[in-house]
Amino acid sequence: MQWREWSDESFATARERSAPVLLFLGASWCRFCKELDELVLADERVARVIHERFVPIRVDKDRRPDIDARYSKGGWPTIAYLDDQGELIASDAYLEAEELLPRLELIANYYAQNRAELKRRLTEAGERPTTLRRPRGELSRELVDWVAKTVLETADPTFGGWGREHKFPHFEAIDFALIRWSQTGDEAMRKLVLRTLRGMQQGEIHDKVEGGFYRYATQPDWSRPHYEKMLDSNAQRLFSYLEAYQAFGETSFKKTAEGILDWMVSTLLDRETAAFKGSQDASPSYAHLATRAARKELGAPDCDPTIFANWNAIAVSSLFKAAAVLGQEELDVLALHCLDFVLEELYDERHGVYHYWDGTYHLPGMLADQAYTLRALVDAVQFSGETRYLEHARSLAASTIETLSNDEEGGFWDLRSDPKAHGGLKRRTRSILENAVMAEALVRLALVSHENDWMAKARETLESFASDYKRYGHLVAGYARAVDLVLQPPVHVIVVGPRDANETTTLRRAALAPYVASRVVQVIDPAVDGALLERSGLPRGEGGARAFLRRGRESYAETADPARLPALLARIERGS
């Protein structure tokens, strides 16, 4: 099969031939995509019909999440049939050759006989608004309470997690539940977090030989997993287990986190770039081997070498967290090297963050990349004590607001407007999860930059979903977490002192060490951060470093003693 790329030329060929487009949407790590490719699409009869009657286009869903969001049936592989303008006619999941052949003939015949009428109907449908403009709502504690109730009611009461047929960990829901327990003492939330994390690490979804987790399970008890391993989901689970270890002190959580780290660094880290590859392919035969020696003899599954900006940004944030919780300073260095690669190879001020790198950069201006990279930049300010990342963060936030803001409804579009886009890509959408991540990053940026305009944009973004958040299912947990961050500001620890002084570093690390549901830490060096210090309103200070603790518009304490910080943080978080 001679596959084409998604391009103007491919659709021009479809118009010249008066032929529909067959879009094969898959993932490099997807076993069923490979089976469809090797067993079904390689069938001579199938290949002949596609060659003669369609213009075939193949797209990797991770490299082109914008196309995936418009045409996927919710899983992979997806076979989508499009007209010559890129409008969707129909779509299928996996089909055997004997099932696909009549389907291809049906689509091709229908398109040939009804092309003009079909184009008219699709054009009219595309011109009609797909949704009514929704009014902005108010952010309230009732919103957060509703989500908390929903998270508890929809969770698996036996094995934890969410979902019946497919069991994903849903990192945002775990994080929200842990925050909720910390703030309210809700015992049901504590039990849900423990049940979910213990269930995952005891289940087959956890690779107990080499560490890390497979993508998802197909049974409620976290068994019968799909064996691909993804960078983003492992980095997110790393964060969850680190936070739970901080909060509960359960050593098994620490061990599981260390296993994830070991797998990420040994398998996905690209030593030349200091960034992480996207995924490791599924191999049930490899996964079922019970020793490293046996696996070494068989040979590890291949890895997709593509470096994705948003996934690496997620990994950076988790590496910073690991350095603080596990006391491994080398992880801070690893996180900074990875972030520097993203800044050097995947970012420029005019186009923002590009989506992926395979020797060069591709696909600029997607909200997911901007949001997660912005969050990683703010984390770099917090965990490294370096203010040089603050300027990158301010520049990225400003460009994202300029290019992706939805001025009518509020919040951010998922990608930049492209007048030349085909079909579904002409219609931009708003992802509640990515908007929530962006809002969280803006809240934290407002605190470390001491500039309130970022906070105003964060609030406006969240308000734009407040009238209809209930329709988004489990993704609403990430939104509620961001709303909570606005309604209940984080504890803000500002260490004023020479950046490289031991006492400054010790105070910063002490502020990051304990579990705190919501916290921002930064270092201001009076000798080099004069403007930042002035905006903070804090004194220059004499005689060494001091930590100042705030929350919202209230100042709570100052200390030069790192041993006092954990108790002060806990007291402020509880509001006592």
pLDDT digits (tens, 9 = 90+) for 80-135: 999 998 999 999 999 999 999 999 999 999 888 887 776 666 566 554 444 445 56
> Which DSSP helix (H) or strand (E) runs through 457?
helix 453-463
CA–CA separation, 300 vs 286, rounded Å? 7
Instruction: Determine contact, residues 231/209, Cβ cutoff 8 Å.
Output: no
Domain boundary among 455, 488, 521: 488
Residues 113 and 243 in one domain: no
pLDDT digits (tens, 9 = 90+) for 52-64: 999 999 999 999 9
Q: Which two tokens stand for residue 277?
A: 């590859």
pLDDT band of 140, cuts 50, 70, 90: very high
Residues 477 and 372 in one domain: yes
In a domain, 138, yes or no: no
pLDDT digits (tens, 9 = 90+) for 277-298: 999 999 999 999 999 999 999 9
In a domain, 318, yes or no: no
Q: State residue 114's pLDDT score.
A: 82
Whole-number Cα distances in Å, 198 to 14, 193, 251: 52, 8, 11
For residues 75 and 18, the model is more confident at: 18
Residues 239 and 360 in one domain: no
Residues 428 and 482 in one domain: yes
Residues 376 and 438 in one domain: yes
In a domain, 543, yes or no: yes
In a domain, 146, yes or no: no
Domain boundary among 488, 516, 536: 488
> Which one-letter DSSP state was computed for residue 206?
B
Mean residue pLDDT of the chain comes to 93
CATH number of the domain residue 159 falls in: 1.50.10.10
Residue range(s) defining the domain that contains residue 498? 493-574
pLDDT band of 541, cuts 50, 70, 90: confident
Residues 102 and 208 in one domain: no
Residues 546 and 450 in one domain: no
Bond before 77 cis per omega within 30 degrees: yes
Residues 92 and 114 in one domain: yes
CATH number of the domain residue 49 falls in: 3.40.30.10
In a domain, 27, yes or no: yes
Q: State residue 435's pLDDT score.
A: 97
Q: How many domains are contained in the chain? A: 4
The predicted model gives 254-271 an average pLDDT of 98
Residues 477 and 507 in one domain: no
pLDDT band of 426, cuts 50, 70, 90: confident
Residues 228 and 353 in one domain: no
Q: State residue 115's pLDDT score.
A: 77
Q: State residue 120's pLDDT score.
A: 67
Residues 530 and 439 in one domain: no
Give the amino acid at 90: A
Domain boundary among 440, 468, 488: 488
Instruction: Determine contact, residues 355/310, Cβ cutoff 8 Å.
Output: yes
In a domain, 471, yes or no: yes
In a domain, 137, yes or no: no
Q: State residue 132's pLDDT score.
A: 47
CA–CA separation, 509 vs 88, rounded Å? 53
Residues 379 and 296 in one domain: no
Q: State residue 133's pLDDT score.
A: 55
Q: State residue 109's pLDDT score.
A: 92
In a domain, 324, yes or no: no
The predicted model gives 17-30 an average pLDDT of 94
Alpha-carbon torsion, ordered 445, 447, 453, 457, to 10 deg = 60
CA-based torsion, 278, 284, 285, 290: positive or negative: positive
Q: State residue 216's pLDDT score.
A: 93
Whole-number Cα distances in Å, 371 to 306, 377, 500, 512, 527: 20, 10, 30, 23, 31
> What's the pTM value of the predicted model, to 2 decimals?
0.93
pLDDT digits (tens, 9 = 90+) for 341-364: 999 999 998 899 999 999 999 999
CA–CA separation, 219 vs 225, rounded Å? 8
pLDDT digits (tens, 9 = 90+) for 180-195: 999 999 999 999 999 9
CA–CA separation, 505 vs 501, rounded Å? 6
Which strands sit side by side in the sheet containing 519-524, from one edge to the other?
519-524, 491-496, 546-551, 554-559
